[in-house]
Amino acid sequence: MADKKMVEAITSRDVDFAQWYTDIVKKADLIDYSSVKGCMIIRPYGYAIWENMQNILDKMFKETGHENVYMPMFIPESLLNKEKDHVQGFAPEVAWVTYGGNEKLQERLCVRPTSETLFCEHYANIVHSHRDLPKLYNQWCSVVRWEKTTRPFLRSREFLWQEGHTVHATAEEAIEETERMLNIYADFCEKTLNMPVIKGRKTESDKFAGAEATYAIEALMHDGKALQAGTSHYFGDGFAKAFNITYTSKENKLEYVYETSWGVTTRLIGAIIMSHGDDNGLVLPPAVAPIQVIIIPVNQHKEGVLDKAQEIAARLKEKYRVKIDDSENSPGWKFSEYEMKGVPLRLEIGPKDIENSQCVIVRRDNREKSFVPLDNLEETIERLLRSYGENIYKIAYENIEKHTYDCATMDEIIEALKEKGDGFVRAMWCGDEACEDKVKEVTGVGSRCIPFEQKEISDKCVCCGKPAKQMVYWGKAY
């Protein structure tokens, strides 16, 4: 029978990065578009990546004492209005329910853009004594934000995420929690997704609505644009006062609690695509790849080939996510298909390999081919997956190194971006919001974060020339 059409070419990253991204999410079967504008259908392969992320993160949360709960998806308008800064921050993106069946509701219901207010109401009901603290809750759910411009995974009107919400007896404990969760996110991105990140604090103008401080991890995509990969917020006692969340201390005094919230979303799938992908498709981190090893039987109609492929699969399935493609498509079509889907390792087995008690393994990251004895297959695969993960991290790290520019003036920023392309700009700042706005207006790069690891580029603000307070990472962002 005639081969099916070979996988269609993907637009080159360097020709049209946006089209390259769209080609991948569609051709790798991660998403489909829905009839609801701005909302996406996450296809099984895309959802499997999210499930793997979810399983790993959920374990990390539980190991640090967090419990999962579930809150309603609707928030009464009066509840949303209790914290002034919070409601103003989200008002432009809120979707409202005004009818229940045929009856107009007496009070509008907001479809949750985030759940601080629901958690606050609940905490006010269940926290009474210092013995009730801390409460370390997390929920896995979807949220709705009515975005004007959408792009699969990066920005959609409904998206999946986790949101942690915790309450503590003291500010010190709450700040410690905020920092701990940021570090968990950074570890997850670097060790699980093989994606380097910058850890830091958001400027006052860029912090979460209602927060005292917002911490973030920032990643750099292949095209030199930044992506906020996760955030952790310290609320102080602002929400506690708005919602009257109090407890009786050991000294028998009535005190307000201190709160945090933190979250990551399905945009991490977009981050993987843009950090690791190439002109042939996805390059998936082994820890979250739905298929870690694809087995391709060569000359599969010859006696013993499929049996051997199934025997190998049964062995490997004890430790790895494995699939055999025994379809009628040609080996060449299969090679292209799983390369585009980013499967880390391709294992080929044919009559000659069986004779020699070996198989061929090809890595997705560098296409390196090895002849591997079947006897020590598991150990070899473990070594190759580890090396593969280290290599894609190294490539992403080198991308950051290559596209990070130290600049002392706005003219230097403009020149660096013009000559070397988009990237992270490290430059000093006096702390004045007017200067932060001016840098973006003149150079096109906004503040991404004030990194915990500071470096003195100069002693003067990049904008006004006054004494600098901090070094800031600036960049264009998704």
172 Cβ partners below 8 Å, 6+ apart?
none
pLDDT surpassing 60 at residue 3 = no
The chain-wide mean pLDDT, for the chain, equals 95
pLDDT surpassing 50 at residue 2 = no
Read off the pLDDT of each residue in 251-264 and give the average, rounded to a whole number. Answer: 98
Which has more confidence, 67 or 148?
67
Read off the pLDDT of each residue in 147-168 and give the average, rounded to a whole number. Answer: 96
Instruction: Report the candidate in 264, 284, 274 with the shortest Cα–Cα distance to residue 45.
Output: 284
> Rounded to an integer, what distance in angstroms lies between the CA atom of residue 86 and that of residue 283?
38
> Rounded to an integer, what distance in angstroms lies between the CA atom of residue 417 and that of residue 429?
19
**If DSSP states are collapsed to H, E and C, what string results for 255-305?**
EECEEEEEEEECHHHHHHHHHHCECCECCCCCCCCCCCEEEEECCCCCCCH
393 within 8 A of 196, measured Cβ to Cβ: yes
Read off the pLDDT of each residue in 196-214 and give the average, rounded to a whole number. Answer: 95
pLDDT tens, position by position, 332-360: 999 999 999 999 999 999 999 999 999 99
Rounded percentage of the chain residues whose pLDDT exceeds 70: 98
> Rounded to an integer, what distance in angstroms lies between the CA atom of residue 289 and that of residue 48?
8
444 Cβ partners below 8 Å, 6+ apart?
417, 476
- Radius of gyration of the chain measured on its C-alpha atoms: 25
> Rounded to an integer, what distance in angstroms lies between the CA atom of residue 89 and that of residue 368?
50
- pLDDT score for 209: 87
112 within 8 A of 73, measured Cβ to Cβ: yes
95 Cβ partners below 8 Å, 6+ apart?
110, 111, 144, 146, 157
pLDDT surpassing 80 at residue 282 = yes
pLDDT surpassing 80 at residue 7 = no
CATH architecture assignment, domain 17-276: 2-Layer Sandwich (3.30)
- pLDDT score for 89: 77
Q: Is 110 helix (H, G, I), strand (E, B) or coil?
A: strand
Which has more confidence, 88 or 222?
222
Buried b (16+ CB within 10 A) or exposed e, 61-82: beeeebeeeebebbbbeebbbb
pLDDT tens, position by position, 444-467: 999 999 999 999 999 999 999 999
Superfamily of domain 404-475 in the CATH hierarchy: C-terminal domain of ProRS (3.30.110.30)
pLDDT band at 8 (very low <50, low <70, confident <90, very high): low
pLDDT tens, position by position, 9-38: 799 999 999 999 999 999 999 999 999 999
Superfamily of domain 293-386 in the CATH hierarchy: Anticodon-binding domain (3.40.50.800)
Instruction: Report the candidate in 418, 423, 419 with the shortest Cα–Cα distance to residue 403.
Output: 423
pLDDT tens, position by position, 394-418: 999 999 999 999 999 999 999 999 9
Domain boundaries, the chain: 17-276, 293-386, 404-475
- pLDDT score for 92: 87
pLDDT band at 1 (very low <50, low <70, confident <90, very high): very low
